[in-house]
Amino acid sequence: MHQTALDARHRALGARMIPFAGWEMPVQYAGLVEEHRAVRSAAGLFDLSHMGELYVTGPDAGRALDAAIVTTPSKLAIGRAHYSMIAAADGGVIDDLIVYRLGEQEWLLVANASNAETVATALRQRIVGFDAKLDDASLRTSLVAIQGPLAADILQPFVPIELSSIKYYSGTKTTACGVPALLARTGYTGEDGFELFVDWADGVQVWDTLLEAGKSRGLLPAGLGARDTLRLEAGMPLYGQELDRGTTPFEAGLGRVVKFDKPGDFVGRAPLEAAMEQPRKTLVGLKITGRGIARTGYPVYLPAAPEPCGVVTSGTSSPTLGTAIAMAYVPPEHAAPGTALEVGIRSQRASAEIIPLPFYRRST
């Protein structure tokens, strides 16, 4: 079981630690709802050092990545990023990724902790024959994220660049809190914010600096629990719940990510072309209008039908909206907004209605 460089900091703050994808991680500190609301109203500080950081470099790195994943990293401008996926040969999703272009011949792919080793292995195999190499920096990189409407104000005194010049899904090499950093305007909460990739030991200085600076502004340390409820409100998929080997991007409502118009072939292309035409299921948002909270794995029914037609992938009581919400897979013919459904919650059925995703969108 790995510990991040911030493990002692989490324990000193009274965090409840849990095993997660091979790491000991904080699930909450003061409490999930309090941390969630801090991110929506002020700012939250997250330790995301369990994520995988995979650098692909070399003269053919861009072309190699075009062939390895579903997007076209070679077309990214230096300093920009995009959301992507790496597909299996049958079109199933191995992982979803954020891809950053850092230089003319340098890209960074950020993978989920549970899949980092699998993604690294697949990429190593897929770049064979190209003048490119992969460097797995996952165990020597700390990743600290500050998220929320006050994130830029809190971070600004500790970076030498004007944060307003950094666009969403952009990143730049700079310094932060006195240490070298890759600063990216990305996140997984539905709020504005920044992610700081630094050397392993430097994560402590970044964490301490921002935690102290943000205290008077309402910033709280936030754990995996709040990160999950935040991303669910924002309609963002989580690998292992909305995404897996048995699901295609089109079924998850993410078909726009797959670039069939790029030059050359890529792994999973033919099955994904077929999947685009015949999705087996559709990801929808549910507002639970009856009593109870829908949880992962709960069955979804058409009203009065004896057998389930779908399954809940994620569910919670939304701290922001004040109601129970969920994401679920249902047959495409029953996926229209306004459709009445039922969710099996223990021995009862709770009424539900399909509503558009995301459940929450920040004001701009």
Q: Which strands form 193-199's sheet, in the order they lie side by side? A: 171-176, 179-184, 193-199, 141-147, 44-47, 220-221
Residue 158: predicted pLDDT: 98
* CATH number for region 281-355: 2.40.30.110
CA pair distance 301, 57, nearest whole angstrom = 49
Q: Give yes or no for a cis peptide into 358 (omega within 30° of 0).
A: yes
Tens of pLDDT, residue by residue over 43-97, are 999 999 999 999 999 999 999 999 999 999 999 999 999 999 999 999 999 999 9
Residue 304: predicted pLDDT: 87
Residue 144: predicted pLDDT: 98
CA 202, distance to chain mean position in Å, is 23
Q: What is the β-pairing status of strands 44-47 and 220-221? A: parallel
CA pair distance 221, 25, nearest whole angstrom = 13
pTM: 0.95
Residues of the chain with CATH 3.30.1360.120: 1-226
Q: Are 277 and 136 in contact (CB under 8 A)?
A: no
Successive 10-residue mean pLDDT values, the chain, 364 residues: 97 98 97 98 98 98 98 98 97 97 98 97 98 98 98 98 97 98 98 98 98 98 98 97 96 96 93 93 97 97 96 98 98 98 95 98 85
> What are the residues facing 284 on neighbouring strands?
328
Phi, psi (5° rounding) for residue 111?
A: -110, 160
CA-angle at 181, arms to 185 and 94, nearest 5°: 60
Residues of the chain with CATH 2.40.30.110: 281-355
Residue 263: predicted pLDDT: 84
Residue 41's contacts (CB-CB under 8 Å, 6 or more residues apart) are 148, 149, 218
Phi, psi (5° rounding) for residue 98?
A: -110, 130
In three-state secondary structure terms, 143 is: strand
Q: Which helix (H) or strand (E) holds 33?
A: helix 32-41
CA pair distance 245, 94, nearest whole angstrom = 6
Tens of pLDDT, residue by residue over 283-334, are 999 999 999 999 999 999 999 899 999 999 999 999 999 999 999 999 999 9
Is domain 1-226 given the CATH code 3.30.413.10 in the classification?
no
